[in-house]
Structure 1
Amino acid sequence: MYKVLLADDERIILDGIAGIIEWDSIGTSLIGKAQNGLDAYEFIMQYKPDIVISDIKMPGMNGLELIEKVSSECPSVQFILLSGFGEFEYAKQAMKYGVKHYLVKPCNEQQIISSLKEIIAEFKQKERREKAAECLKDELEHIRSYAANQYLEGLLTGVKNQAPPLAVQDKTINLILVKTDAATQSYQTAKEAFGSDLTAFCHLGDYAILAVEAQRNEEVLEKKLAVCFEGCQLTISRAGELRHAKDLFEEITDAYSESKHSALISKMVKLVRGELGNPHLSLKWAAKEMLYMNPDYLGKLFKQETGEKFSAYVTRTRVEHAMKRMKSRKDVSVSDIAEEIGFGDNPKYFSLVFKKYTGLTPSEYRKKQRGASVR
């Protein structure tokens, strides 16, 4: 029901219009009557009617002054002006404020109803346009979100079959890893918490991955996450561009992995990453030179917590690093990579270790990568 206010200083006209029109039958509701412009203005500010039927000449504030004031504060309010014969100059002034309906007294019931119906038709047409625009906006947002989510998933899984959406490809984001198995709930929760700041989302195994537009205040980000994913284990990356999400993901998965270990084993994991190029890196070297502990005891602890021997972990980390380098830098020689990851001047030994781990020599691995990129 569209709300209507009547304003006229003549009580007989005010009551006459109020009583003669069947307001409900045309989809309206008469919510008030005022006998001067000041009372009408106060009523409009408080109750926000959709339509005001107003006399031009009223005490306190005339109809034109009322329209001028209301049009700047409540521009959606539509007016039907009533005036005496020969007051067309007022009508011309009223048109400046968008008033289209001007009735000369004495006016009958049908004239007022006709004006009301025209205004209501305009309201409904505007509502249909706004609804259509909102539906289109929602559809475009859905398409954009889907494209961004697919792009993020492709970056993380290495399946680059999705072009980067222009609206998000250069965005600076924080990547957030949340351990949860409720994919739909996680997305809705993240969307409600971050709104348009949620740049992309995907679900990999038991992990929800959020790409959130980089927050100036990291405390705000942490508070939102604490509320949204209460009780879930989560890790936040440094800020970086969305197109570098793979690197950010690897960083936070490493950090997440470390968080599951004791302080000592986490320290050993960090030590391996920091000393990857050190040809002397071994359990004995780490125990003697860096951790000052018994190597046998350290090795036993490391195997208990990680399920992997320290030497095997070092080799795996080195080879995985080499694989990443071969993918990202096709111009770097095998010798340079071997030296970079601690094999010194012995690229042949590196090739043997690499083949044992991957089933391919470094050159075969590179050929396979080139073939994949051509396809």
Structure 2
Amino acid sequence: MLRLMIVDDEEIIRTAISKMIDFTSLGYELIATAKNGMEAFDIICDSYPDVIITDIKMPILNGLELIERAYNLDIGINYIILSGYGEFEYAKQAMKYGVQHFLLKPTNKQELINALIEIHDSRNEVQEKQRLQQQHILQKVRFPMEQCFLMESLEWQQDFSQCFQKYDQLLSFPSHCLHACICTFIEDNNLNAFLKDINKMLEKNQITQFFPIISVKNTVILIINVETLNIQTKLQEFIENRTYPSQAVSFQAAFMHFHNVFELYQSIIEKISRFSQILLIDSSLVAYEIRNNLTSPWRLKELENIIKSSSNEMEFEEILNTTFSTSINLEAAKKISIELFLMQNSSVTEYSLDMACDFFRKIYSCTSTQAIYEMLRDVLSTSLQEQLSLDSKQKSYIPLLKNYVNNHLDAEYLSLKWLAENYLYISVGYLSKQFVKEEGERFSDYLNRIRMEEAKKLLAIYSNDNIKSIAKQVGFGNSPHYFSQVFKKYVGCTPSEFWETSKTEHVHKSL
């Protein structure tokens, strides 16, 4: 369902539009109505609508000004502008913000329905493209995630269920993959030859591998689809008939069948956990040892523990900077970043696939190790602060949010959605509920209140002709008029009046 908001200064129009269309049947949820641009902007900060139907002429903040400011918060919002004949050309200015739908008043019901349907269909197309991009990104980072899954599973067998659920989101383990083939007596000097032969056989017979090949002391584990006895027999005969000049004993193949995917991986983890050396072999038959190099998850777990035990942010950055030294190559840096990011997300309920894919996409768009370091530093710094803010049972993101806001009051982009997606990497819905529950007020009220408190301090220092500069410093960009309106709402007077009063009080105190 798309989240819809209606903005118009005439109550009769807001009510009429709200009631004349069955929004639910069109795939919309009407989340709010607003009587002016200021009220609408606060709702955008709090309630992250997808689509806004708005009038042009409104008090305080008109429709075009609303769109301009909202664009800095969320470029993904779609707008339907309602305008009179004399406003139509004016409304076209909104096209630079991507607005495509302009309807003349009085509003025609069918035209509005058609516009809503067109937006819904367009967003579905965009979502499908994003889904395909997400699949591409997950495929690109699949092997590092499979390494991390193996490592976490081995490290935390007692919590395997939680670990499996998290990676099931990312790796999408097929439910029909219920078999494993255990190949034994494969001596080290014959491992490469055996892997090449088995790979060719699997490809020739279109037998799908669902996980990279796992190798432990003279044993190779294949997680494959062998649903028929014919395929199983054929594979077994192929393996056991392999001969190599230096091979002392014959290979053996045993098949394991499980009731579900969870049992399959749990059993494999139990079997390999006793071995000191574990290899994971990628699709190019390159073997990665899990323990003895920097990009190994075993070492990364140690690195994560060191990062978490950092006593302050400076120490944390020094550790991270040492890891991402100039000697490390770009691909290794990407791999480390992905694995460290995944290790931070141990709770399935707070894990967001969209957020993870967005992180992976940003990492793979980096062209230097320094860029990767800077991005990972910001993400892990948030996680580090989060650990420091834990109480005995409940994790709260609100102290982190408030700290970020206090340090970035000049940023026009501040909204719950932006903070959730770009700073905290959690669900915006979850963050919204948590903020109201803990603070007892909406995020927009909190944001405006502390911005006005900072503005009052600045007005007491600077002269009256600095209002435009002050507006910019507290997040209102090039909108001093809107800043004045918000200031009056929260303080009870305009910035100029406040400055005059402060100046008079200062003179009286000095006498």
* TM-score, reference length from structure 2: 0.33
Q: Whose strand proportion is higher, 1 or 2?
A: 1
* TM-score, reference length from structure 1: 0.44
